[in-house]
Amino acid sequence: MGRYHYVFPRWSNALMPALCVMGTVVPLYVALVVAYGFSPQTTDVGYQPVQPVPFSHKIHAGELGIDCRYCHNTVEYAAKAAVPPTQTCFNCHTQIHKESDKLEPLWESYETGQPMQWVRVHDLPDFVYFNHAAHVTRGVSCVECHGRIDRMEVVYQHERLSMGWCLSCHRHPDTHLRDPKLVTDLGWSFDKQPDALARFGSQSEYHDFWRTHNSLNPSQDCSTCHR
């Protein structure tokens, strides 16, 4: 009796293969979970914070067709596409919907001079220096990074905005380029441009033209974005 006390039971023979299976599956699973769970695709894309005023880009930029630069008017000249001052809202809203409750915080800001506290959606790390003007003036459309803002009721992050994502475009910019005059046309597509269709044989010819025309050779140096 006593000496069998130390013998493993028969079912324990199954432990070894089970451990082997676990040993391969679990690390793989963990690696996958980490890779997926910590990727910007998971953590960042779709980030959609609640804003102090339910401003709808869908209505303003989409249905009403207000140009992006009406509000974000520094985008062609400065690194930042500044969020507009409260004043800009009241260029129209002193006439339209001026009784709306939704405008209450804006009225308060307008009268007290205290800024609105919007929540930043597209937030690059502090060691990254992105310049809007450098991209917009060379024909990189807003839509390339921000998605179809004109269809968003509440703005969310559409792209990963990770370094690999930035570099993919810096390495192969062609398909992301267009006539700089059309950068704010978020619904733009080559097929819908009669004059472009008439002038260029194919879409790639079109992109090539604009790349050469603006002498584009996007830098992949670290110092381009990190200082």
Partner 1 sequence: MPSVDHPPSAEPSGKAYWRSLDELADTPQFREFLHREFPAGAAEMLDSSERRNFLRIMGASLALAGFGLSGCRRWPKEQIAPFAHRPPGRVPGTTQFYATSMELAGVGSGLLITSYDGRPVKIEGNPQHPINRGATDALAQASVLEMYDPDRSRFVRRGGQRSTWGDFEAWAQPHFSALRNAGGSGLHILSEATASPSVRDMKARLSKAFPRATWHEYEPINNDHELAGSVLAFGSPYRAHHVFDRADVIVSLDSDFLLAHPAAVKNTREFVRGRRADNRDKSMNRLYVFESGYSLTGANADHRLAVRSADVAVVAARIAYRLAGQGNAKLSQALRQFTGASISTTLADSKVDELLDQLASDLAEHRGRSIVMAGPRQPAEVHLLVHLINEQLGNVGKTVSYTPLPDQPGHVASITSLAKDMAAGKVQTLVILGGNPVYNAPADLHFANRLESVKTTIHLSLYEDETSKQCTWHLLRAHYLESWGDTRAYDGTMTLGQPLIEPLFGGRSPIELLAIIIGDELTQGYDIVRRTFAQSTGVSDLGAAAGGWRRALHDGFLAGSADTSQSPTVRRDDLPGHADRLWSGWSPADGKSIELVFAQDTCVYDGRFANNGWLQELPDPLTKLTWDNAVLMSPSAAKRLRLDTGDMVRLRHGVREVEAAVCVMPGQHAGSVTLALGYGRRGIGRIAEGAGFDFYPLRTTDSMGFASGASIQRIDGSYELVQTQEHHAVDSMGGKGTQERLPTIFREANLDEYKEHPEFAKHRAHIVHRLSLWEEKTLQGAEYAWGMSIDLTACTGCSACVVACQAENNIPIVGKDQVKRGREMHWIRVDRYFKGNDPETPQAVAMQPVPCMHCENAPCEQVCPVAATIHDKDGLNVMVYNRCIGTRYCSNNCPYKVRRFNYFDYQKRVPVREGGLMHVKPSYYTRPQSDVDPLLQMQFNPEVTVRSRGVMEKCTYCVQRISAAKIKAKNEWVRTKPADRPGRVTVPDDEITTACAQACPAEAIVFGDLNDPASRVGALHKHPRTYAMLEEINTKPRTKYLAKLRNPAPALAPAAGSPSHVEAPPHG
Nearest distance, CB of residue 209 and partner 1, angstroms: 12
Name the burial class of residue 69, with classes exposed (0-12), middle (13-18) and buried (19+) by CB atoms within 10 angstroms of its CB. middle
Nearest distance, CB of residue 87 and partner 1, angstroms: 5
Distance between CA atoms of residues 57 and 24, nearest Å? 48
Please give the biggest Cα pair distance in the chain.
96
* Position 141, amino acid: S
In this structure, the dihedral spanned by the alpha carbons of residues 80, 82, 83 and 84, taken in order and rounded to 10 degrees, is: -170
Nearest distance, CB of residue 50 and partner 1, angstroms: 11
Q: Is 96 helix (H, G, I), strand (E, B) or coil?
A: coil
The answer to whether residues 142 and 135 touch, using CB atoms and an 8 Å cutoff, is: no
Nearest distance, CB of residue 110 and partner 1, angstroms: 6
Distance between CA atoms of residues 193 and 198, nearest Å? 9
Nearest distance, CB of residue 47 and partner 1, angstroms: 7
Residues forming the site for partner 1 (CB under 8 A): 37-38, 43-44, 47, 49, 74, 77-80, 82-87, 109-110, 112-120, 123, 125-127, 129, 131, 133-134, 137-138, 180, 213-215, 219, 221-224, 226-227
